[in-house]
Structure 1
Amino acid sequence: MTQSRCDRCGASGPAHDFVSAGTDGTWRVLCSRCFNTEMAQFADMQGFEHPSFTPLRLRDVDNSDHEFHFRSLLLGDQLSLEAFELAGDDEAAGYRFQILGKADSKPFALLGQLIQTMKRALSMKHLQAEAGRLQIADMTVRGRVEWNGDEGASQPCVIIDGRRIEWNDLGAMLLAFEGWQFRLEMLDPSDEA
């Protein structure tokens, strides 16, 4: 697991719990606790306590387990709670969820809402294997657009049902709907798809 070190407190930990933060052209790596402390000071919030949650396993509609890690970030007047799966080397991959609440929200209430969103998403399947190939299971596909990891690439990849799908592979799946109309709607990561 990739480790990072906080430029403010010196603590080290898993990279997914760190933020690159910049002010006045100076960038620092901060643990989420120090980031939240600085944001609370900046927003003049008294008594803000950094919420921290242990990883959680949830099962999807195919009975596969998914382990989610959590990160909370104070973003001015909002508290962001994120849940994500990790791939090798501490890289976020697979399912990713976010919920936003007011900065003074009760963290466990937000966590409960986030877990309900996660359970709803894990109960749906948008892709199915047919003759050894992935196909769109129904008329709706929900997912997330991601960078494909290639510095020179002009195409993204997408994450559908928690799995990475290359752009060309998604195009091949769409060929089954040749001549049909479609609607592409982009949603904020904190909106439920």
Structure 2
Amino acid sequence: MTDHTCVRCGAVTPPHDVVSVASPDGGFRLLCSRCFNTEMAHLADVGAFEHPEFTPVRLPDSDGLEHEFHFRSLLFGDQLSLEAFELTSGDEDRAGFRFQLLGDPQSDPFELLGNLVQKVKRALAVRHLVEHAGNLEVAGTTVRGRIEWDSRENGRLPCLVIDGKRVDWTDFGAMLMAFEGWQFRIELVDPSDEA
């Protein structure tokens, strides 16, 4: 992944900490999250907003494997978005766990962080897919995950991220064949809600 330069402060910034912001001329500017938050605080008239920065944390999943989570905060006017995410490399740049929590911009960011870490721990405690005879299978009757863009499909089909791992749409369809004849219910949930 290529680092980007913030057009406001000139900082060389990794892709996970860059925000593409629309400009009045119809173009887009790349801002680091700190500069984005500074501009949003000014536009939303949020006084004394301080951009929180957090140290990455390592948390175990239900199998005892540790996952390193990085954090990013983005001010969206009357809400502060706090995100926890894993950094992945290679073809799986859309893989990895990602979580979000929304809060009041004037709230204690460390309290929001504590709530977000608890949300991450609850999610990591549950496995939705299991490996059996070298193949992934649905562990129970509920699967939770995230829908992502699949560049291999040019937007024709999505890929899914389940248990922090990329799952192609066709592979997921094959897993569902174990439930042939069953009924299903799809519920789409905002990333900041509890899934």
Q: TM-score, normalised by structure 1?
A: 0.96
Equivalent residues of 1:3, 1:13 under 8 A apart: yes
Q: How does 1:6-155 map to 2 (within 5 A)?
A: 6-24=6-24, 25-88=26-89, 91=93, 93-150=95-152, 152-155=154-157
Post-superposition shift, 1:103? 1.6
Aligned-partner Cα distance in 2 for 1:81–1:71: 6
Aligned-partner Cα distance in 1 for 2:95–2:33: 19
Report the residue type matching 2:190 in the other structure: D
Aligned-partner Cα distance in 2 for 1:84–1:151: 24
3-state SS of 1:2 partner:
coil
Post-superposition shift, 1:13? 2.3
Post-superposition shift, 1:151? 5.9
Aligned length: 193
Report the residue type matching 2:98 in the other structure: R
Distance 1:188 1:72, change over 3 A: same
Aligned-partner Cα distance in 2 for 1:33–1:93: 25
Q: Over residues 98-126 of structure 1, what are the superposed CA-to-partner deviations in whole Å (9 max), with x where a residue is unaligned?
A: 00001212100100000000000000001
Report the residue type matching 1:175 in the other structure: M
Q: TM-score, normalised by structure 2?
A: 0.95
Q: Over residues 137-176 of structure 1, what are the superposed CA-to-partner deviations in whole Å (9 max), with x where a residue is unaligned?
A: 0010000011112363411010110100000010011001
4+ residue runs of structure 1 moved beyond 3 angstroms? Answer: 89-92
Q: Over residues 4-55 of structure 1, what are the superposed CA-to-partner deviations in whole Å (9 max), with x where a residue is unaligned?
A: 1110011112221110111321311001000000000001111100011111
